[in-house]
Structure 1
Amino acid sequence: MPEVTAARAWRTVLESIERDLVEGRLGPGDRLPSERDLSADLGVGRSSVREALRVLEVMGLIRTATGSGPQAGAIVIAAPSGGMSTLLRLQVAAQGFPLADVVQTRLVLEDAVAARLASDPQRDLSGIRGILTAMDAEGLTAPEFLALDAELHYALAEASGNTVIAAMMAGLRTAIESYVREGSARIEDWEAMASRLRAEHHGIVDAIEAGRADTSRALVRDHITGYYTAAGLVPGDH
């Protein structure tokens, strides 16, 4: 298999493992192939394999252990669920969607999510708070942070109770992550941007919990458009 480009390599590994999880070839308790085997099978460098495994671990899908004993390597501890599973094919197709269309769709979907959650007194954001805590951890790489970012936005959609919106967000996840990751490479001070994104996420969730629908919707819109603008992916006057 020909060597894939470095920028794409870690994503190739991630998609391959996720597909095996979704289609049932891998499940909780199963051990992943070794870094060497994954590298050879997928035509990528071992550093790309390690990066993908770190992202999967941050997302809570696998656990890794160093060493050479029976407990070494990567073990599956969870599987993708909900819309993420049912719309895997849309994820693949969505990689070809125009950036402007993805951004506009996010604005429509996540505006609805914020409004619905803020107006629902029975909302449960305990899982959301857990993701925020994970994102506040020090030492996260940009890919790890962005994987959690995608998980947060999907979890908000799922918490809204609208299964169609949750499924659409799951199907767009790959397209969203690829554009967001591309943008991160253009940002000179990533740490400053990560701090800004953390603060914006907390602000959105706080507004939702306070039942401030209009505020949460405005914060979500500013959050999405602000990142793409700061990363130079869309003009600032859009």
Structure 2
Amino acid sequence: MNEPILSVAGVSKTFVLHLREGARLPVVSGAGFQLLAGECVALGGPSGAGKSSVLKMVYGNYRVDAGHIRVREGGEVVDVATADPRRLIRLRARTMGYVSQFLRVIPRIGALDVVAEPLVGDGVAREEATARAGDLLARLNLPERLWPLPPATFSGGEQQRVNIARGLIAHRPLLLMDEPTASLDAANRQVVVDLIGEKKRAGVAILGIFHDAEVRDAVCDRVIDVTEFAKAA
């Protein structure tokens, strides 16, 4: 039986606007879906529908008001909605990867080390980790002269390629992606499409936001319309 890697059930979220006298802004209500190994699913809907909020709730950046977000980690199931911070950190380190829109790294660390760090954290020897990081950066067409430099000095598109490489270099059974190709040209978008395809074939479950329709059509098996969750909120 193919058990889901991710199972979202009855999830609701409301933001409280403390600078507006406690006004409440409902985002989603009763959100529910499942994600299987080797499947890429897009969160769809217009801007403001709650796509990024759903993604952040799955990753544990936003707490939920109700419901469950269950992630399978080997023989154990972890509920992100109720997990304590230490358990959530372990889940992210071993099972759940994330490619955000923006690169957030320690200043003055070179791009090659930034990308290699997840592998080093997994116990891979640094020499092998940096070699694999270099291969991935080369594939994403980041010039080798930039590899020793801090990504903070790069253009938006260059930073995003470092971001993608860091997010994809280590194996994580569940991968979250927030507009991974937003700052990329056509050639590098195709590289990312190819990399996502390889992750799917390796059994990785991918949940993402893909505003680029061509990329979405190329990599996604189905689209979840988040507006259906927003209507109930």
Normalising by the smaller structure, the TM-score range is under 0.3
More strand by share: 2
More helix by share: 1
TM-score computed with the length of structure 2 as normaliser: 0.26
